[in-house]
A and B are shown apart, each in its own frame.
Chain A
Amino acid sequence: MYGGGYIFEESKNGHSEEEDQIKLQKFEERIAAGEKIEPSDWMPAEYRKQLIRMIEQHAHSEIIGALPEGTWITRAPGFRRKLALMAKVQDEVGHAQLLYSAAETLGKPREQMINDLITGKSKYSNVFNYPAVTWADTAVIAWLIDAGAIINQVANSKGSYGPYCRALERICLEESFHLKYGHDNVVFLATGTSQQRQMVQDALIRWWPPIMHFFGPSDKISVHTETLMRWKVKMASNDDMRQKFLDMYVPKIWELGLTIPDPKLKKNNETGKWEYTEPDWEEFKRVINGDGPCNKERLAVRRRAEEKGEWVRNALLRPSEKYTVPLS
């Protein structure tokens, strides 16, 4: 599960000028022609840097994203839900593995990435800094956060870097099952007893602001990313993805008789665009920078897991073997 949008650093002006202009031109021509860039191909330093940053944060989001849902595996009601949730969270961990491997092809070892995660140097999707308060929260996450992730990841799978695209194609296939699981779960709650209905309504109210934040700040205030879009690192604007999400899922939410906590939310038939209350971007920034309801807990859990597992990893090391960058 992942939503991009806020992960790009502002590029320093002129970075491309330091590159070999002939190679750069060929590189851009290949991308424009729809070719994939592979690990051993020449690429601008800035392209490599931004890709590592993006794929690494995506990988972190999968492993951290497994935490809020993972805590509900032991409480899932009934065999059907328990087995499905176990498989779903396992998938998320598998996505992290695929993505760390994809990022490694660009030259950064997994250990270093995980170290940057637990020291707070590297970010992950903001949405996981919110708690899954009840069982219904896990249903809403599995449906709507995974739906958002699919929109983002399907776009990114058409990008230019081969290993990342291939990982995303596989990830999207699995995410589409998560979405079905989540939807089924929400339908059962929304059409169940009054208590179940209340649970899922409350969860939707809690999760709506993080869902609106999911695709990142509005285009008006986000970092300019023309070069990254030309290089097919970033594939769609934050607002475009948010519009697509609203278009696909708001009718489905309303169909279930649930109320979305935004009185301004409606589709403007003239523009074909959704209108909504502007999300609180100050809160978004605050949470991203570490001051959300669960940031400290999430990192503490991850750090503890790393520390507790160190002896196992040490016991697997063979001093005679050297680290090599994987090729795909």
Chain B
Amino acid sequence: MKQLTEIQTKALKDLICRIADDELILGHRNSEWTALVPILEEDIAFSSMAQDKIGHSLALYQLLNKLGEPDPDAIAFTRKEKDFKCCHLVEYPIGDYDFSLMRHFLFDKSEAIRFDLLSRSSFEDLANIAKKFRGELKYHTMHADTWLVQLGNATEESKARMQSALNQCFPLALGIFEPGEYDEVLSSENIFPGEKVLQGMWLDSIKIILDSANLSIPDIDTSDRSYGGRKGYHTEYLKPLLDEMTEVYSIDPNAEW
């Protein structure tokens, strides 16, 4: 790719930061389930996927570092809440397993498509990372789909729980696709086709599984989309999460841990 212009660099950094922050925060949240998941085998699977997410965020912060930002630890462990660009969906506490599974399903479906789109990005470094992540996401979505279909068709309790988790998560998940100020640049430079395109593909993709799971998708037009995260306006849950995450690191950010 040719030398990036200033606006292109800004647009790229914004995009990468959004994705990386989502991955870090959701990976962090999902890791809270370690040793507490309803079934041992699932505990191990969920931890693997959480590790993948943290690993993805690290690789993306390394890319930001290449674009002139500080090193990954400094980005993740010293920024203030308002500098994070994650969506609200990933910030919520883990709740019960219905909520965490539904979030995992909705989010990872979007990630799988996002990385597929990014694997064709004109920004080669990002395309290469996306190709690798896409392979991992295939297993994450396979995992999520299997659970959704099973729980959506099992007991009265599991059906009711999954429907109410979907009702709660859906407006939050729409926040993943909050329009960004650089969408046009990203799309015209073939870096990323944009959140609107992604949302359309995502809706098609979740519908297939939600139908098999006998769950009804809330009406998108009347859903109160949870926007703001991409611009630094977060839920009440992010600050305590960051305080906890940086508790040891901030004892001495210059020390080697």
Contact = CB atoms under 8 A, between A and B. Distances in A.
Interface of A: 63, 66-67, 70, 73-79, 81-83, 86-87, 89-90, 92-94, 96-97, 100, 135, 188-189, 192-193, 195-196, 301, 305, 308-316
B31 interface: yes
Contacts of A310: 38
B39 A67 contact: no
Interface stretch (B47-55, B179-187, B198-206): B47-55
Contacts of A193: 252, 255
Given A74-B28, A301-B36, A312-B151, A93 B161 contact: no
Contacts of B1: none
A315 B154 CA distance: 5
B87 interface: no
Of the candidates A77, A89, A90, A94, the one having the most CB atoms from chain B within 10 angstroms of its own CB is A77
B233 interface: no
B40 A308 contact: no
B47 A315 contact: no
Interface residues of B, number: 45
A93 B51 contact: no
Contacts of A76: 248
Main secondary structure of the interface of B (DSSP, over half): helix
15 contacts: A74-B31, A75-B244, A79-B72, A82-B54, A86-B50, A90-B51, A96-B40, A97-B44, A135-B248, A135-B257, A193-B255, A309-B38, A311-B161, A312-B42, A316-B154
Contacts of A316: 39, 150, 154
B248 A315 contact: no
Interface string B191-235: 000000000000000000000000000000000000000000000
B35 A196 contact: no
Given A93-B47, A188-B257, A83 B158 contact: no
A179 B34 CA distance: 20
B40 A73 contact: no
A-B pairs with lowest CB-CB distance, top 7: A309-B38, A315-B154, A66-B35, A315-B158, A77-B257, A312-B38, A77-B249
A315 B245 CA distance: 34
Interface in B90-105: 96-97
B249 to A, nearest CB: 4
Most chain B beta-carbon neighbours within 10 Å: one of A74, A97, A311, A312: A312
A232 B87 CA distance: 57
A77 B251 CA distance: 9
Contacts of B151: 312, 315
Given A135-B248, A192-B256, A305 B36 contact: yes
Q: Which of B39, B41, B54, B248 has the most CB of A within 10 A?
A: B248
Given A100-B40, A308-B96, A78 B51 contact: no
Most B C-beta atoms less than 10 A away, residue of A90, A195, A196, A314: A90
B124 interface: no
A238 B97 CA distance: 42
B125 interface: no
A311 B256 contact: no
Given A81-B257, A311-B158, A313-B39, A89 B34 contact: yes
Given A96-B40, A314-B155, A78 B77 contact: yes
A83 to B, nearest CB: 6
B136 interface: no
A144 to B, nearest CB: 19
Contact of B39 (A77, A94, A309): A309
A97 B40 contact: yes
B32 interface: yes
A90 B97 CA distance: 18
Contacts of A81: 257
Contacts of A96: 40
Nearest to A307: B38
A314 B58 contact: no
Nearest to B72: A79
A95 to B, nearest CB: 10
Contacts of A83: 51, 54-55, 58
